[in-house]
Amino acid sequence: MKDLRFAVIGTGFWARYQLSAWREVPGVRCTALCDLDQSKAVAMAKEFEVPAAYSNAEEMLTREKPDFVDIITNVETHSELVRLAADYRTPVICQKPLAPSIAEAEKMIATCAANSVWFAVHENWRWQTPIRELKRALVSGEIGEVFRARIDYCNSFPVFQNQPFLKDLEQFILTDMGTHILDVARFLFGEVTQLYCQTHRVHPDIKGEDAATVIMSATSGATITCNLSYASKIEQDRFPEAFVFVEGTRGSLELAPDYWIRQTTCEGTQTRRCPPPFYPWADPRYGLVHGSIVDCNRDLLRGLRTESPPETSAEDNLKTLKLVFAAYDSAAQKKTIPIT
C-alpha cells in the first residue's frame, strides 16, 4: 500500500516526539515541516531528514499537497490552521486542546464537515498501555457494575522548565491536563450528565490554576472524581503516571504506581504489571506519554486509510472539551453544571 505523505505545522517541544512516533508507524512519511520561525523548521527538517521546510503554511500546502497535515501548535492558532487545511481539502490532525472555546471548536468541526474533510484530534493519553489494560478489565465485567471511581494525576513535576509558556496561561491545568484526564474518564466510564469543580492556584508565579478537583456523574449513575495537580508534594513522585481506583458491585480495580493493575473480588486479589513500551527517542521523564503517541498515531492512520472516524475524532473530542469548559464554569459559579 502506498505511503501517506504528511506535513507538520509547528516545530516546538512536542513536534520532535510526534515525528519520532510517526517513524514507528509503517505506511507514512513526513515530506515537509512548517514553522513561523523557518530556522527552527530547517533545523528539525535536517535532523529528521525531511526534504522541505517552510515558514508559510499555505505555501507548504500549495506546493507539497500532502495526504494529511499534523498541526502541533499552540491552541490559539488551531482554528486558522484547521480552516486552511479544510480550504485545501486536506485531512487534518490537530493537537489538544482543540480550541480556546466551545464555539470555536464547533466552527472548526463545521468547516471541515462542509468541505468533507476528515478531522481528528491527537489525544494520546487514553492510549497508554496500562489504561488500555484497565479498560479491558472493566469491559470483562468481573467487578460488576461500576458505582464509583477516582482518577489521580497529582505531582510536582517542574513542567514549566520545558514549557515556560504554561506560566502565562490564564487557564492552565484543566486545559493542559484536564483535556487528557477527563478524556480518560469518558473512555473508561462513559459520558457525563453533570459536574462540579473547584480549582486552586498554589504556585505564586503563574496566572492560571495548578490544582483542580472535578466530580462528575456518569450516565451509568457512577460518580467519578478527577484530581489534578502540579503542586502536590508527595513521597514518591511518579510523573507522568495517573492512578485509577474503581469500585464495582462485585469488586474493585486499581491502576497503581509502576503500572500495576490489581483486581479484587470475593475470590481474592489478582495482580499484573502492564508497563508501556519505551522507545530510544523518548525522554525518560515522559516515556509513558511518548510511548502512547505511537499507538494513537496508529489509530489515526487507520482512520485515514479507511476514511472512518478514529477513537479521537474531532466530534468525540468536543465532548471532552465541553467537560473542560464546564469545569471552569463550575469553579467560577460555585455550582454544579449540567452537561448537554
Query: Average pLDDT for residues 279-296, to the nearest whole number?
Result: 95
pLDDT band at 252 (very low <50, low <70, confident <90, very high): very high
Cell matching residue 258 = 509502576
Give CA–CA dist 96/93, Å, rounded.
Answer: 10
Last residue of a domain, which of 64, 91, 117? 117
Does the model's pTM come out above 0.85? yes
Query: Average pLDDT for residues 119-138, to the nearest whole number?
Result: 98
CATH code for the domain in which residue 104 is found: 3.40.50.720
CATH code for the domain in which residue 215 is found: 3.30.360.10
Is 75 in the same domain as 131?
no
Decide if pLDDT at 1 tops 90. no
Query: Average pLDDT for residues 83-94, to the nearest whole number?
Result: 98
Q: H or E segment at 84?
A: helix 78-87
Q: What is the pLDDT of residue 333?
A: 98
Give CA–CA dist 303/316, Å, rounded.
Answer: 14
Q: What is the CA radius of gyration of the chain?
A: 20
Chain centroid to Cα 300, Å, comes to 13
Cα within 13 Å of Cα(236), Cβ side? 6
Is 265 in the same domain as 152?
yes
In a domain, residue 294? The reply is no
Q: Is 162 helix (H, G, I), strand (E, B) or coil?
A: helix
Decide if pLDDT at 163 tops 90. no
The total domain count for the chain is: 2
Query: Average pLDDT for residues 213-233, to the nearest whole number?
Result: 97
Domain with 168 in it: 126-284+320-338
For CA atoms 300, 306, 307, 313, the dihedral sign is negative
Decide if pLDDT at 226 tops 90. yes
